[in-house]
Amino acid sequence: MMKVEVYGDIACPWCRLGTHQFRRAVAAAGVAPDVELVHRPYQLMPDAPEDVRPLMDAAAELFGREQAESMLAGMTRVGADEGIEYRFDRALAVNTLAAHRLLWFALSEHGAKVQAALATALFDAYFRDGVNIADHARLAELAERVGLDGDRVRAFLASEEGVAEVRDQVAAARREGVTAVPHFVFENGASITGATSTEALRDALRKASGRE
């Protein structure tokens, strides 16, 4: 089994796109089911508040309303070309630590396949469905959809378990030079950072698996 790690943030639209492209690349490279994708935490805004607000408002504060609207409209078009729906008019900006803790829990308790399914559910919830991904009840619902035990998830989220571990992993990623996401790391040491393509990921997978 070849392991590929991806550092990303649930609030990063390019991370959602990159993960989607990775799944397509695995099929195109002919390496399924011999590859597992492990999601590692990264927070673009670790100090983001836990109180939700419209993502459009948060983006406007950072870039100005006109530039923010242009950027998000462009991302919406890119997503549509790849078969992904972005609804930035619904998206809610919020701190992503709780979501990363849940991904950490899913990997620890159930492995990479379940974690990958949960990551997809979280991305869709955030960028398509307007879900508050800091809300523990909503997180438990998403976890149950991919097969996790809801009571176990609720107890985990109500605890402090995973908080230090996730923060340590985010800090370690920054120390190791991860400054942009998504950041894919392959077993042969190759990496791909930022906006990419299915073709680039396919070629990297083939090289890492020794098929090229």
- Which domain, by its residues, includes 104? 2-47+96-208
Mean pLDDT of 117-127: 98
Asked if residue 61 belongs to a domain, the reply is: no
Listed in sequence order, the DSSP H helices in 43-176 are: 55-63, 65-82, 97-110, 112-127, 136-145, 150-158, 163-175
Is the CA virtual torsion 8, 32, 111, 158 positive or negative? positive
Statement: residue 211 has pLDDT above 80: no
| Structural domain count of the chain | 1
Which tens digits make up the pLDDT trace of 131-156?
999 999 999 999 999 999 999 999 99
CB atoms near residue 69 (< 10 Å): 15
Asked if residue 74 belongs to a domain, the reply is: no
Asked if residue 76 belongs to a domain, the reply is: no
Asked if residue 141 belongs to a domain, the reply is: yes
Which tens digits make up the pLDDT trace of 56-110?
999 999 999 999 999 999 999 999 999 999 999 999 999 999 999 999 999 999 9
* Rounded distance between C-alpha atoms, residue 35 and residue 26, angstroms: 7
Give kind and range of the element (H or E) at residue 7: strand 2-8
Asked if residue 33 belongs to a domain, the reply is: yes
Asked if residue 83 belongs to a domain, the reply is: no
